[in-house]
């Protein structure tokens, strides 16, 4: 039982822990000398494991029961994530699909779309990817230039490019935002589409990271044919549909942070094995700062859970938790590498992957710069950054925007 659990939550935690202990031997081994090394085998094993988690009621906990979920709240989702991390077992493979795209289809999809896509998505039979960002449309999502043209028979033809697309290399489907009417204001001329990733004209190219993986991809669409049933949320309503996805993205990142394994207890345990580190005041000071940041995230997460339980949507301030989590984990990785030396970076080490993976995570869900600007302007009420590209002197810009020059 967690010290913060109510009796009901403690009972649910015990139920989750019991299921995980019973089925732990069925989970794929992803770390250590016996870990699976082949990427295709890893994906296949994790798809099967996601199916088992779904059968055990530990995937899509907050989905309505009629769509295969458990109809539970965000607190139960966090408890499940905590217990999966505690057991050192992998979570679901398709966190984007289950956490963000499935809920978007539930909210905006047709009955036929829900019937066809939700069950395979939940069980890992069909992995999904989010096709939003473009080379010139990242922070300004409404500026997307991928075009879908309506044909005489009601079908569509899609052309354009997306980038930084996670899991596109093995996804079966993608949820894509495209411009369908260039003659109206940019927020109004957008439509959301379901895109088969094996369709003729779809090309996926991996973007190799320092970890050696190509988790992110750029995806090209060359006159891809889509039928009329590929539209999600109605023609011209893409912006409203996309906002639903982005809302669930914030919630998914917030709820998932408890299960990422970036906690001070884990880091302290690694350092405690080194006698010199235990006595070194600098190591203790650095670890204390990291622990304080991660503790702040935990209680910020509790506030987010309270808002969700009340039916409220977390605001842009929730982005600060992501910034702080990644920053704190990077600092922890640096500290562990400083203490353990080259052993921390050996292939198969539990720290090697984390240290090489985290820099890329700084861009996921919005870059740190964009998130800080959003929080500064929309939460703290600070003036926007100077628009130097328009040639306006800094002092004049601040005066025009009502701030002291």
- Give the per-residue pLDDT at 350: 77
Residue 199 CA: distances (Å) to CA of 37, 148, 152, 185, 310: 29, 15, 20, 30, 42
DSSP string covering 77-100? HHHHHHHHHHTT----S-HHIIII
Distance CA 252, CA 246 (A): 10
CB burial readout 300-316, b (16+ within 10 A) else e: bbeebbebbeeeeebeb
Which sequence spans correspond to the domains of the chain? 7-93, 128-241, 260-378
7-93: CATH superfamily? Acyl-CoA dehydrogenase/oxidase, N-terminal domain (1.10.540.10)
Angle (CA) 48-126-165 rounded to 5° is: 110
Q: How many Å separate Cα 24 from the centre of its chain?
A: 25
Distance CA 287, CA 336 (A): 10
| Contact call for residues 324 and 339 (beta carbons, < 8 A) | no
- Give the per-residue pLDDT at 254: 61
Residue 391 in tokens: 């040639």
Please enumerate in sequence order all residues whose Cβ is within 8 A of that of 280, keeping only pairs 6 or more positions apart, or say none.
Answer: none
The CB density around residue 130, as the number of other CB atoms within 10 Å, is 25
User: Which runs of consecutive H residues, i.e. helices, occur in 24-144?
Assistant: 39-55, 74-86, 95-96, 102-108, 111-122
Distance CA 156, CA 4 (A): 52
> Which is nearest to 315 in space by CA: 375, 390, 225?
375
DSSP string covering 214-274? --EEEEEEEEEEE-GGGEES-TT-HHHHHHHHHHHHHHHHHHHGGGS---HHHHHHHHHTS
249 is catalytic: yes
Residue 161 CA: distances (Å) to CA of 177, 214, 221, 260, 295: 11, 17, 6, 31, 40
| CATH architecture under which domain 128-241 falls | Beta Barrel (2.40)
The alpha carbon torsion through 278, 282, 284, 287 (nearest 10 deg) reads -120
Q: At what angle do helices 238-256 and 281-309 cross, to 10 degrees?
A: 130
- Give the per-residue pLDDT at 117: 98
| Contact call for residues 348 and 32 (beta carbons, < 8 A) | yes
Residue 187 in tokens: 């927020």
Over the chain (405 residues), the average pLDDT of each successive run of 10 is 78 96 94 83 96 96 95 90 90 94 96 97 97 81 91 97 94 98 91 98 88 82 97 96 85 64 80 84 92 84 76 68 85 91 81 83 73 77 66 41 36
DSSP state at residue 101: I
Residue 386 in tokens: 């100077």
Distance CA 215, CA 231 (A): 27
Residue 164 C-beta-side C-alpha neighbours within 13 Å? 16
- Give the per-residue pLDDT at 300: 79
| Contact call for residues 292 and 264 (beta carbons, < 8 A) | no
Which one of the listed residues 213, 249, 275, 317 is annotated catalytic? Answer: 249
Query: Is the CATH number of domain 260-378 1.10.150.20?
Result: no
Based on its alpha-carbon atoms, the radius of gyration of the chain, rounded to whole angstroms, reads 22
């Amino acid at each position: 039982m967690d010290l913060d659990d109510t009796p009901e939550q403690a009972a649910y935690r015990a139920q989750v822990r019991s299921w995980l202990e019973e089925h732990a031997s069925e989970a794929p081994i992803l770390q250590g000398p016996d870990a699976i090394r082949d990427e295709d085998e890893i994906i296949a094993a994790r798809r099967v494991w996601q199916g088992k988690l779904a059968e055990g009621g530990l995937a899509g906990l907050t989905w309505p029961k009629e769509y295969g979920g458990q109809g539970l709240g965000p607190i139960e989702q966090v408890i499940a994530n905590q217990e999966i991390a505690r057991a050192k077992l992998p979570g679901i493979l398709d966190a984007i699909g289950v956490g963000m795209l499935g809920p978007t289809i539930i909210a905006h999809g047709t009955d036929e779309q829900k019937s066809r896509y939700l069950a395979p998505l939940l069980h890992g039979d069909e992995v999904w990817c989010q096709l939003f960002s473009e080379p010139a449309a990242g922070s300004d999502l409404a500026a997307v230039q991928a075009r879908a043209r309506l044909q005489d028979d009601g079908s569509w033809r899609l052309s354009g490019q997306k980038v930084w697309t996670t899991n596109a290399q093995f996804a079966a489907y993608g949820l894509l935002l495209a411009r369908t009417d260039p003659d109206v204001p940019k927020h109004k001329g957008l439509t959301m589409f379901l895109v088969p990733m094996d369709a003729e004209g779809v090309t996926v190219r991996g973007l190799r990271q320092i970890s050696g993986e190509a988790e992110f991809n750029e995806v090209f669409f060359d006159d891809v044919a889509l039928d009329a049933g590929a539209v999600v949320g109605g023609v011209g309503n893409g912006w409203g549909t996309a906002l639903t996805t982005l809302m669930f993205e914030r919630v998914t990142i917030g709820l998932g942070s408890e299960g990422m394994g970036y906690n001070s207890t884990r880091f302290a345990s690694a350092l405690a094995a080194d006698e010199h580190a235990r006595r070194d005041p600098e190591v203790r000071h650095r670890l204390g700062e990291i622990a304080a940041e991660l503790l702040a995230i935990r209680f910020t997460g509790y506030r987010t859970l309270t808002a969700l339980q009340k039916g409220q949507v977390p605001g842009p301030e929730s982005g600060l938790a992501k910034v702080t989590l990644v920053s704190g984990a990077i600092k922890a990785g640096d500290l562990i590498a400083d203490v353990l030396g080259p052993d921390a970076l050996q292939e198969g080490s539990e720290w090697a992957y984390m240290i090489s993976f985290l820099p890329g995570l700084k861009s996921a869900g919005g870059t740190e710069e964009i998130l800080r600007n959003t929080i500064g302007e929309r939460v703290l009420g600070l003036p926007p950054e100077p628009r130097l590209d328009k040639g306006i002197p800094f002092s004049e810009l601040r005066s025009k925007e009502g701030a002291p020059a």
